[in-house]
Amino acid sequence: MSLLSSLNISNDVAFVCPFSRTSGQVRGVQISKFLNCQVYNLNSVDSSIFHKRLVIFVRFFNPELVNILRQRNIVVGYDVSIPNINSDDTLLGFAGQNFDFYIANNDNHKSDIERQVKGDRPVFIIPHHHINIDNISPNIINQDVKTVGFVGLSRFLGDYISTIDEFCKSRSISFICDHPDSRESVVEILKKIDIGIGCDLSKDDKFYSEFLSNRPITKLINYQSFGIPSISSSYKSATQFGASAYLVADSIDELLEAIDMLLQNFDLRKELSEKGVENSQKYNIDKIAKIYVIMIKEVLSELQQ
């Protein structure tokens, strides 16, 4: 019997991630739950992990644990959320040479990783699935907009949160800026939003240029899954996976202009909503999970001959 024919993903594969991080919940907990395989909190891994054939670390990892797994001939992968693997930081430098394979957010991210890792190690592109796992019906596109929303870390709007808030008040609409710590909380906010902002405006941030090129499509695809007309920066994942079902804004002036355009044009909002919902179907969790299965089989086929 071959190794692959005996593969049981439920028993043979595990994820390790920080449960407290949104990225850990999305790429670790939700995917592992859908695949029906074990997921460990990064801070509380037990010895059962040594019975796995393949382990994927999401965002963060424990170098000592990675070394032990590899010494036991367990295949170890890293879902890379941090743009620069080989920095002077001990953990990041370790990551560039101690994993068997890597997972990237987009083509640009893959190229970045391939330039930095040691040796010929495979890099797989797996876009993020959207948050609408329960297939909640898209928001109704009303003639009147009531709420503009940004769901994420406020620092990516730079110093412009009050500017956006004042602009929305001048149009008699509300502005939500929040970074909830659970999927359920995010969903409740998305249900209230008429226009979604997925822009990154903090260009003074030292990680800005790398992050913008390599960040996942999470915000945009979440908005699209709820039929929310959206505005996004022109980052690589949006260009690659967003299907042009959004308006582009790379500055505060462009953002305010785009909000105004959507406020005044019901047909445009409806068009972006419909196109967004259609595009988001490609990123349902079941379809993304199939990409993981294909990747797992390919990796084990190559590395456990």
Tell me if 242 is assigned to some domain. yes
Q: What's residue 212's pLDDT? A: 63
The amino acid sitting at 262 is L
Q: Is residue 298 domain-shared with residue 233, that is, in the same domain? A: no
Query: 293: Cβ–Cβ under 8 A, 6 or more apart, which residues?
Result: 9, 35
pLDDT digits (tens, 9 = 90+) for 275-293: 999 999 999 999 999 999 9
Residues 1-49: tens digit of each pLDDT: 344 556 899 999 999 999 887 777 888 899 999 999 999 999 999 999 9
Place of tokens 């019997």: 1
CATH of the domain at 80: 3.40.50.2000
Flag whether 133 is in a domain. Answer: no
Domain assignment of residue 101, yes or no: yes
The verdict on 278 and 165 lying in the same domain is yes
Residue 195 φ/ψ, nearest 5 degrees: -135, 130
The answer to whether the beta carbons of residues 84 and 109 sit under 8 Å apart is: no
Is residue 1 one of the residues assigned to a domain? Answer: no
Q: Are residues 299 and 239 in the same domain?
A: no
Per-residue confidence band for 91, with pLDDT thresholds at 50, 70 and 90 = very low
Q: Are residues 107 and 157 in the same domain?
A: no
CB 139 within 8 A of CB 198: no
What percent of the chain has pLDDT above 70?
90
Annotate 82-112 with DSSP letters as a single string: SS-SSSSSHHHHHHTTS-SEEEESSHHHHHH
Q: Report yes or no on 21 lying in a domain.
A: yes
Distance (Å, rounded) from C-alpha 180 to C-alpha 174?
Answer: 18
Beta carbons within 10 angstroms of residue 134's beta carbon:
8
Q: How many CB atoms lie within 10 A of CB 94?
A: 17
Assigned domain for 44 exists: yes
The answer to whether 148 and 194 are in contact (CB under 8 A) is: yes
Q: Are 156 and 258 in a shared domain?
A: yes
Same domain? 255 vs 276: yes
**Whether residue 154 sits in one domain with residue 80:** no
> Would you state the pLDDT for residue 90?
43
What confidence tens digit (pLDDT) does each residue in 42-90 have?
A: 999 999 999 999 999 998 899 999 999 999 999 999 998 765 555 544 4
Quick one: 168 and 294 in the same domain? no
Of residues 181, 272, 183, 256, the one with CA closest to residue 224: 272
Give the residue numbers spanning the domain of 227: 147-283
Mean pLDDT rounded to a whole number for the chain: 89
Whether residue 192 sits in one domain with residue 291: no
What pairs with residue 151 in β-bridges? 178
DSSP letters spanning the chain: --TTTT--HHHHEEEEE-TTSHHHIIIIIIHHHHHT-EEEETT---GGGGG-SEEEEES---HHHHHHHHHTT-EEEEE--SS-SSSSSHHHHHHTTS-SEEEESSHHHHHHHHHHSSSS--EEE-PPPPS-TT-PPPPP--SS--EEEEES-GGGGTT-HHHHHHHHHHTT-EEEEE--SSHHHHHHHHTT-SEEEE----TTSTTHHHHHHH--SHHHHHHHHTT--EEE---HHHHHHSTT-SEE-SSHHHHHHHHHHHHH-HHHHHHHHHHHHHHHGGG-HHHHHHHHHHHHHHHHHHH--
pTM: 0.89
- CA 248 – CA 235 distance, rounded (Å): 10
Q: What is the pLDDT of residues 220-239, one digit of tens each?
A: 999 999 999 999 988 888 88
Residue pair 240/90 in contact (Cβ under 8 Å)? The answer is no
Domain presence at residue 43:
yes
The reply to whether 299 and 255 lie within a common domain is no
How many domains is the chain built from?
2
Q: Are both 182 and 164 inside the same structural domain?
A: yes
- Let me know whether 95 and 170 are in one domain: no
CB 58 within 8 A of CB 77: no
**In this structure, is residue 134 part of a structural domain?**
no
